[in-house]
Amino acid sequence: MYNIKIIGRGICLPEKVVWSADLEKENNWPENYILEKHGVKKRHWVTKEHNSTLGAKALANALENAGLNFNELDLLIYASVSYDCPIPTTGCAIQQVGGWEDSGVPCIDVNSSCISFMNAMEVAGALMLSNSYKKIAIVSSEIASRSLHPEAEECYCLFGDGAAAFIMEPSLNSGISYTKFKTYSAGYEYTGIRGGGNFLHPAGEEFKTSDAYFHMEGRKAMLFTIRHLTDFIAEIESELNRSVSDFNYIVPHQPSKQSMDYFINKYNIHKNQMHNILMDYGNCVAASIPIALYDAIEKGKVKRGDEVLMLGTAAGITLGALVFKY
Amino acid sequence: MYNIKIIGRGICLPEKVVWSADLEKENNWPENYILEKHGVKKRHWVTKEHNSTLGAKALANALENAGLNFNELDLLIYASVSYDCPIPTTGCAIQQVGGWEDSGVPCIDVNSSCISFMNAMEVAGALMLSNSYKKIAIVSSEIASRSLHPEAEECYCLFGDGAAAFIMEPSLNSGISYTKFKTYSAGYEYTGIRGGGNFLHPAGEEFKTSDAYFHMEGRKAMLFTIRHLTDFIAEIESELNRSVSDFNYIVPHQPSKQSMDYFINKYNIHKNQMHNILMDYGNCVAASIPIALYDAIEKGKVKRGDEVLMLGTAAGITLGALVFKY
């Protein structure tokens, strides 16, 4: 479908590690409450870092890993939800803070909430079909922490910050063999940030600071998502004529402990068959899948030639699946 | 390069028309000051409309024009700068407010500032090369007016709100024969909105309402852009072995009167050879190019089989060109 190979990878995490044990003390929650309920032991939260500085470092690492200079790229795709500024795009900001401001390498942003990386992979693969693009970088860099309020406990305990970058090029030995995406906006209200855009403009009279925090009706979102995920996975299994549990390895989005446990149990997935980084990173929004993929490659869980199922759900609500031979 | 045909088109403008004459009176500016200096006689500004409501109406019009139902789409690309909410994406919001919330049609956002529509056209064309996507809608819907402050005169006088939508499908008779994009983030600071993302988070202590307004160092931005545009157009002319003035018709972004006058004079473009909607719509950010294209088709300036040069500059700073046979 798309002959595309990962030739470089990098990540960058904010310096500050935030332990759940410390959050429990600060908020007078019982010991181990966060780990047991939300599955997160620690996560990184920014102090001075921006989406662009994290993203530029992850990209510099990926370029070094690929043995490439930034100037050799044909395109930079920023695949994330959060951003430095409403305009210009954060892809441009990454080009600037990385010191590549005179390179001319074009930058575009692709956003499908938490599964942006998967859509960006498909876009990169498709653009390579035209032979006009040979080397494409995809960067996901998320800062959720600034949009978290302790009173929105479910979000506050769950989300982390971080960035990952991958360099891709055309190849006959690797590639995407299958993609599937579905959006059901009947679940639009279940999770998101209401204020900050034109719906509740931050310079408007009706805007309140509380509108700028992440909200999640976790149980409603999960029930809605599970209903659609059941049909979604049935279609995937039918179209591929194989069970999701037949895949060597699954690199999923890391939405929550409950939803990942549900998936493992329902589809008879062995724990060693699915990459779980929730405990150490939290849910890093659109950076979760690429950070998990990076971690899986580093730890030898995904080796050259392995076929990986990427799977995720996202605010919107959007569901996505992508089969990738690494 | 990409065999892609426009099979439906639609626009939607906010109800409220704002006349430059009225702005001049309100701000004690001389009569005809805005028209003479900024080239804008009137523009639409929202009252109650959102990016999603404008976008959904434009899309409904385009679907009707194409004789299609929303459910027949394989993908909705929202190609804009401004948004309803920071998350979920505005593509999902359009699906919801359009009444298509159970359709499952996947939604992604593509953003390269003012030239997002061109990048989205290339992405749509590329995705069709895979044969997995047959019908793709691109929607650009911009609300600039909420981010305008009268004291930032250049922006206040220039920008308008509006939306346009196009439906695309594969075709051997139409298509994109050439694209070129370049980003030079050395000009990142010249235009944009600093506050509202993680750089100056709207819930943060340092955030001031004034950070949420559009700023533009117009002269610096124009000089910087012209410098790069000169090389950019020289490359295009060299690669295509023809002069930009040889194109039947040019549908440009509508950045400002000065920059459009400069372009016309420098490259010997006949006024009837380039579509100018600045006077009636203002600069509608990423909706400018698709609204101009819609208007050009409606007025018979672009007919089936005509080759159109789309050309634009965008915050970032990004330059883009795309040759499309309608």
* A–B CB contacts, 8 A cutoff, strictly below: 276
Cβ pair A123:B126 closer than 8 A = yes
Domain with CATH 3.40.47.10 in chain A: 4-172, 177-325
Q: What is the CATH number of domain A177-325?
A: 3.40.47.10
Look at B185 and A110 and tell me if their CB atoms are within 8 Å.
Answer: no
Structure-block tokens of residue B281: 């719509």
B99 reaches A (C-beta below 8 A):
no
**What percent of chain A stands above pLDDT 90?**
94
Residues of B in contact with A203 (CB under 8 A): 146-147, 149, 209-210, 212-213
Which tokens sit at A198?
């034109």
Q: Which residues of A touch B224 (CB under 8 A)?
A: none
Q: Which fold does the domain B4-172 belong to in CATH? A: Peroxisomal Thiolase; Chain A, domain 1 (3.40.47)
Q: Using CB atoms and an 8 Å cut-off, which of residues 69-98 of chain A contact chain B?
A: 75-76, 81-93, 95-96
Residues 151-170 on B with a CB inside 8 Å of A are: none
Whether A291 and A268 have beta carbons less than 8 Å apart is answered as no
pLDDT at A174: 96
**Nearest-CA distance A161 → chain B (Å):** 12
pLDDT tens readout for residues A45-66: 999 999 999 999 999 999 999 9
What distance in Å separates the CA atoms of residue B138 and residue B115, rounded to the nearest whole number?
Answer: 13
d(CA A285, CA A141): 9
In contact, A212 and A195? CB cutoff 8 Å: yes
- Quick one: pLDDT at residue B116? 98
CB-CB neighbors (< 8 A) of A101 in chain B: 184-186, 188
**Confidence (pLDDT) at B321:** 98
- Positions in chain A short of pLDDT 70: none
Contact residues, chain B, for A109 at CB < 8 Å: 109-112
| Nearest CB neighbour to A203, from listed B127, B192, B212 | B212
Mapping DSSP onto H, E and C, the string for chain B reads: CECEEEEEEEEECCCCEEEHHHHHHHCCCCCCHHHHHHCCCEEECCCCCCHHHHHHHHHHHHHHHHCCCHHHCCEEEEECCCCCCCECCHHHHHHHHCCCCCCECCEEEEEECECHHHHHHHHHHHHHHCCCCCCEEEEEEECCHHHCCCCCHHHHHHECCEEEEEEEEECCCCEEEEEEEEECHHHHHHEEECCCCCCCCCCCCCCCHHHHCCEECHHHHHHHHHHHHHHHHHHHHHHHCCCHHHCCEEEECCCCHHHHHHHHHHCCCCHHHECCCHHHHCECHHHHHHHHHHHHHHCCCCCCCCEEEEEEEECCCEEEEEEEEC
Q: Which residues of chain B have pLDDT under 70?
A: none
Of B1, B108, B185, the CB nearest to A101: B185
In B, residues 276-315, which contact A (CB 8 Å cutoff)?
314-315
Summarised one tens digit per residue, pLDDT across range B14-55 is 999 999 999 999 999 999 999 999 999 999 999 999 999 999
Q: Check residue A19 and give its pLDDT.
A: 97
Using the Cβ of B178 and the Cβ atoms of chain A, whether some distance falls under 8 Å is answered with no
Helix (H, G, I), strand (E, B) or coil at A274: strand
Integer Cα distance of B120 and B104 in angstroms = 20
CA distance A274 to A285: 18
Reported as a single tens digit per residue, the pLDDT across A99-114 is 999 999 999 999 999 9
pLDDT of residue B66: 98
